[in-house]
Structure 1
Amino acid sequence: MILTRRTALAALACSAAIGLSAPGALAQAPEKADVTLGVGGKPLLYYLPLTVAERKGFFKEEGLNVTINDFGGGAKSLQALVGGSVDVVTGAYEHTIRMQAKGQDIRAVVELGRFPGIVLAVRKDLADKVKSAADFKGLKIGVTAPGSSTALTAQYAMIKAGLKATDAPIIGVGGGASAVAQMKNKQVDVISHLDPVISKLEADGDITALIDTRTEAGTKALFGGANPAAVLYLKAEFAEKNPVTTQKLVNAFMKSLKWLAKAKPEDVADLVPAEYHLGDKPLYLRSVQNSLESYSRTGISTPEAMKSMYESLKVLDPEIAKTDIDLSKTFIETFAKKAGSGS
């Protein structure tokens, strides 16, 4: 019998599920206790489950020493994974589809966000002229990083509005305070970004929101359905070689999701580093309140949501439009199922 990569992945997931349910199996040592994780804009609420896992000590509870590298944008985190400088990434689910289309076996193992949480907004002084994405032509659009989910969402909105993805320059403004400063200094005209950056700019009267995917309704209005947002993704071969390590990483993130499901905004604000508040803790509390709905409840993306994302990418990218990707290859759900069962 020839053992294909797909068969091997199924086998490792099954064996992990069986082995980790045995008495004392949770005490199994990880194959790789020191893990390097990439992220693109760690202070953003999009990645809050990561900060929760770090600050609550969930990684250490699982016997892992996780070093977090913040690259300022999702596309840079992906490059780091492909290049081998990080082991795993908390990033947008859509990157798994894009990499499968390129023949690179990168897969998600736990869903962290079920709505993108991205807001497209125009500078207040341009709001009388810019009413929708159809008016973005020639405007400078600020995103976390070119190629990131914030950039792709802006380009998708333009295409849906009848423009080309290249009709407006995409400018990386990073996350946190740098993004706020570049909008305030009028270095960009439109911003496609996340909380707390968006809430800060809204509260200061700097922007007018045009598209808001922080809620289920806003997500469906743009994409026509639910869209998986942040996930933990990795090279399939990492999961093959390190099934216990992978399970422990997923366990830690599932603990974060369960904590967030019960947490109050005040709990979150007290947990995260003070600089995450952008100098305005009451505003941060409102941002958290607005975002709590967006975090995954199960850790697993639904087939319908994954298909919605795939269809969106087909609209955006002619090369992906030519593909016929088996979406089951983009997500190994067994780890999240095991972690969710608590066994």
Structure 2
Amino acid sequence: MVIAKEVKGMFKRHLMMLIALLLLFTWGLSGCAGGASKVKIGEVTRSVFYAPQYVALEKGFFKEEGLDVELQTTAGGDKTMTALLSGAIDVALVGAETSIYVYQQGADDPVINFAQLTQTDGTFLVAREEPGEFNWSELKGSEFLGQRKGGMPQMAGEFTLKKNGIDPHADLELIQNIEFANIAAAFSSGTGQYVQLFEPQASIFEREGRGHVVASFGTESGQLPYTVFMTKQSYMKKHKDMIQKFTNAIYKAQVWVGAHTPEETAEVIAPYFKDTDMDILISSVKRYLEQGTYAKTPALQEDAWNNLLDVMDSAGELKQRVEIGSVVNNEFAESAVQASSK
């Protein structure tokens, strides 16, 4: 009798444990079905240059698509690509040239561009001294604080200098050994007569009297798939639905920015620039809008892609020309645009 009771007790305990596990499993499935899909983005820097991304977050466009987006800043293209390849992030917002570097290395799992955010260079030429009427020839013999070798800002910068009759490696002292995140601080402390800066840093330096914006590399270098959302091919194949929803949200943000004033956009993105005054945010957004920096749709254009290849080739960073279809998938961008027009 005692043994029978013990067996009965053990059976009852096991049955209760089994029921509990089944309930937990059911609740887990329910939570996954009803909850948002988690997506980790790594942005190459924090800049007004990426205003539509912050609009997508703040206006709830990602949430509308059922996505829970976590944003982190991984300063520098090399660090951002390392984070993507290692799986530390799911999607990278970085220059399209990084996907070409991975492709040139013969990667088994290439990185695919699927949604363009910016379509011009986002840097400005900032002079330490206030010039009269600026001429590019003034850079000859100067000390120029550039960007990281092989990065899109540096390549577009060199492309622009050559276009204006300046050999960046012979006609001036080109400084390229400073970390991306420290370039503004280096110029502020006295390094260089000229520097290449993104917004809002360029506007901040102007207001504080530490520099003067004299030219736009975005205007000079033409249209480029400058900053693009990309992911590994393997991730894209497993998460096509998520990539589509992500692209839908970005397109909604692009349309929103195109339809609103710099003041309205600056107000929305202000939480991402808590140490930046509103007038600086407004002037930064206005500059980018005026030069057509923000892409109107997520699709990468072939003529802009070919311009990118020309820029890379001029910088000596292109082993061979890479066809746009090798590392670009416009399917999601085209679907996003078509869906919104219905």
Same fold (TM over 0.5): yes
User: 1:184 aligned to 2:183?
Assistant: no
CA contact (8 A) 1:146 1:172 kept: no
AA of the residue aligned to 1:108: N
> Hey, what's the Cα distance between the residues in 2 that align with 1:252 and 1:52?
10
What's the counterpart of residue 100 of structure 1? Answer: 103
User: 1:168 aligned to 2:174?
Assistant: yes
User: 1:48 aligned to 2:54?
Assistant: no
What is the deviation of 1:114? 1.6
SS at match of 1:273: helix
What's the counterpart of residue 19 of structure 1? Answer: none
> Hey, what's the Cα distance between the residues in 1 that align with 2:174 and 2:191?
14
What is the deviation of 1:304? 0.7
CA contact (8 A) 2:40 2:89 kept: yes
Render the CA deviation track for 1:69-122: whole Å, top value 9, x for unaligned.
Answer: 201223321221123211111111222223222223212101111222221223
CA contact (8 A) 2:103 2:327 kept: yes
> Hey, what's the Cα distance between the residues in 2 that align with 1:330 and 1:192?
28
Alignment of 1:173-322 (within 5 A): 174=180, 180-214=184-218, 218=219, 221=220, 223=221, 225-274=222-271, 276=273, 278-292=275-289, 293-317=292-316, 320=318, 322=319
Render the CA deviation track for 1:229-256: whole Å, top value 9, x for unaligned.
Answer: 2211111221111101111111111111
What is the deviation of 1:171? 4.4
RMSD: 3.1
CA contact (8 A) 2:149 2:176 kept: yes
> Hey, what's the Cα distance between the residues in 1 that align with 2:339 and 2:285?
27
CA contact (8 A) 1:120 1:211 kept: yes
What is the deviation of 1:32? 9.1
SS at match of 2:306: helix
AA of the residue aligned to 1:265: P
CA contact (8 A) 2:146 2:174 kept: no
Render the CA deviation track for 1:243-299: whole Å, top value 9, x for unaligned.
Answer: 011111111111111111112122122212356265432232121111123211122
> Hey, what's the Cα distance between the residues in 1 that align with 2:106 and 2:121?
25
> Hey, what's the Cα distance between the residues in 1 that align with 2:285 and 2:127?
22
Alignment of 1:76-87 (within 5 A): 76-87=79-90
Q: Would the alpha carbon gap of residues 142 and 311 (structure 1) be closer, same or farther in structure 2, given more than 3 Å must change?
A: closer
Unaligned runs of 5+ in 1: 1-27
Unaligned runs of 5+ in 2: 1-31
AA of the residue aligned to 2:123: I
SS at match of 1:103: coil
What's the counterpart of residue 112 of structure 1? Answer: 117
What's the counterpart of residue 14 of structure 1? Answer: none
Q: Would the alpha carbon gap of residues 183 and 95 (structure 1) be closer, same or farther in structure 2, given more than 3 Å must change?
A: same
> Hey, what's the Cα distance between the residues in 2 that align with 1:331 and 1:195?
27
AA of the residue aligned to 2:95: A
Size of the alignment, in residue pairs?
301
Q: Would the alpha carbon gap of residues 324 and 311 (structure 1) be closer, same or farther in structure 2, given more than 3 Å must change?
A: same
AA of the residue aligned to 1:207: G
What's the counterpart of residue 71 of structure 1? Answer: 74
What's the counterpart of residue 38 of structure 1? Answer: 42
TM-score using structure 2 length: 0.77
Render the CA deviation track for 1:167-205: whole Å, top value 9, x for unaligned.
Answer: 522144656xx6654433224443212111112223333
Structure ID, larger Rg: 2
> Hey, what's the Cα distance between the residues in 2 that align with 1:290 and 1:30?
42
* Identity, % of aligned positions: 23
> Hey, what's the Cα distance between the residues in 1 that align with 2:128 and 2:205?
9
SS at match of 1:339: helix
Q: Would the alpha carbon gap of residues 31 and 341 (structure 1) be closer, same or farther in structure 2, given more than 3 Å must change?
A: farther
What is the deviation of 1:208? 3.6
Q: Would the alpha carbon gap of residues 235 and 168 (structure 1) be closer, same or farther in structure 2, given more than 3 Å must change?
A: same
> Hey, what's the Cα distance between the residues in 2 that align with 1:210 and 1:264?
24
User: 1:123 aligned to 2:120?
Assistant: no
> Hey, what's the Cα distance between the residues in 2 that align with 1:275 and 1:63?
22
Which shows bigger deviation, 288-297 or 184-193?
Answer: 184-193
CA contact (8 A) 2:81 2:92 kept: yes
